[in-house]
């Protein structure tokens, strides 16, 4: 004898059965979605974050482009030129177009454009730059190969913003710098995070070049 499904609400058997089947299907879809989201996110590893530090500019320079070796009409000729470039993508590898990448760093004498550093930075060095990403998510800065200063190994600060949201703040290090092993922030990084934030530099016709790919949760 066929057994019918009884419900407390007095629903017809075929209606109640349909509700159970639909509910089960929804649960399966929900579980599949829950598994698929982490699977996609696991494709790329997020770029490690680090502290902003005390010298983010209080006032941004009038010239904020990607060439930090020219502040307005004045060229900065000290130190060694560096092109730092890369892409910014999300965990699925999709370029984060429209995001802004900022960098800031000290001049060749180890001074920042900041009152907390005594305002001693060379005015010819822009010290801060910002570029907005296009469809391919590519950024490029012409800047100074970073130099050490008291207590810190050479590094460049980098931040990614998308509209009002700050997606990443971190620091970029130079592979092979002897000061890395003595730097407290670098030493506290895991081996994997050191590898992600430490960039090998190569010489080209105009100085040095380094590539720093960035992955953010957009």
What span, in angstroms and rounded, lies between the C-alpha atoms of 168 and 104?
14
Q: Are residues 96 and 186 in the same domain?
A: yes
pLDDT of residue 180: 98
CB under 8 Å to 87, separation ≥6 — which residues? 95, 136, 137, 138, 139, 213, 214
Angle at 50 between CA 56 and CA 204, to 5 degrees: 80
Residue 97: CB atoms within 10 Å? 15
Residue 75 lies in a domain: yes
Among residues 194, 170, 200, the alpha carbon closest in space to that of 180 is found at 194
DSSP type of residue 30: H
Domain count, the chain: 2
Q: Are residues 91 and 157 in the same domain?
A: yes
pLDDT of residue 142: 98
pLDDT of residue 26: 40
Residue 187 lies in a domain: yes
pLDDT of residue 101: 98
CB under 8 Å to 136, separation ≥6 — which residues? 87, 95, 97
What span, in angstroms and rounded, lies between the C-alpha atoms of 145 and 105?
10
Q: Are residues 35 and 75 in the same domain?
A: no
Q: Are residues 31 and 136 in the same domain?
A: no
CB under 8 Å to 196, separation ≥6 — which residues? 45, 47, 48
Q: Are residues 5 and 94 in the same domain?
A: no
DSSP type of residue 104: E
Q: Are residues 38 and 119 in the same domain?
A: no
Q: Are residues 33 and 138 in the same domain?
A: no
Residue 138 lies in a domain: yes
pLDDT of residue 206: 86
Task: Check which CATH number belongs to the domain holding 200 and give it.
Answer: 2.60.130.10
pLDDT of residue 17: 38
Domain that holds residue 188: 70-216
Each residue's pLDDT expressed in tens, for the chain with a length of 218 residues: 433 333 344 444 433 433 433 344 443 333 333 333 333 445 799 999 999 999 999 999 999 999 999 999 999 999 999 999 999 999 999 999 999 999 999 999 999 999 999 989 999 999 999 999 999 999 999 999 999 999 999 999 999 999 999 999 999 999 999 999 999 999 999 999 999 999 999 999 889 999 999 999 98
Q: Are residues 2 and 101 in the same domain?
A: no
Run of H or E including 128: strand 128-132
Report whether 92 contacts 44 (CB < 8 A): yes
Residue 53 lies in a domain: no
Residue 48 lies in a domain: no
Strands 207-211 and 81-90: parallel
């Amino acid at each position: 004898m066929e057994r019918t499904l009884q419900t407390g609400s007095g629903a017809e058997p075929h209606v109640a059965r349909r509700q159970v089947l639909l509910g089960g299907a929804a649960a399966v879809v929900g579980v599949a979605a829950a598994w698929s989201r982490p699977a996609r996110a696991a494709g790329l590893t997020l770029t490690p974050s680090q502290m902003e530090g005390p010298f983010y500019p209080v006032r941004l320079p009038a010239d904020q482009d990607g060439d930090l070796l020219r502040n307005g009409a004045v060229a900065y000729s000290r130190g060694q030129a560096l092109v730092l470039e890369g892409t910014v993508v999300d965990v699925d590898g999709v370029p984060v177009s429209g995001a802004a990448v900022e960098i800031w760093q000290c001049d060749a004498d180890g001074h920042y454009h900041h009152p907390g550093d005594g305002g001693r930075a060379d005015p010819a060095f822009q010290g801060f730059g910002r570029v907005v990403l296009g469809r391919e998510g590519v950024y490029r800065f012409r800047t100074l190969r970073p130099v050490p200063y008291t207590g810190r190994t050479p590094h460049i600060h980098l931040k990614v913003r998308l509209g009002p949201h700050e997606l990443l703040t971190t620091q970029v290090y130079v592979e092979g710098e002897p000061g890395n092993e003595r730097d407290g922030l670098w030493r506290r990084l895991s081996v994997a995070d050191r590898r992600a934030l430490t960039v090998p530099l190569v010489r080209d016709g105009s100085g040095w070049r380094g590539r720093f790919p960035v992955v953010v949760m957009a």
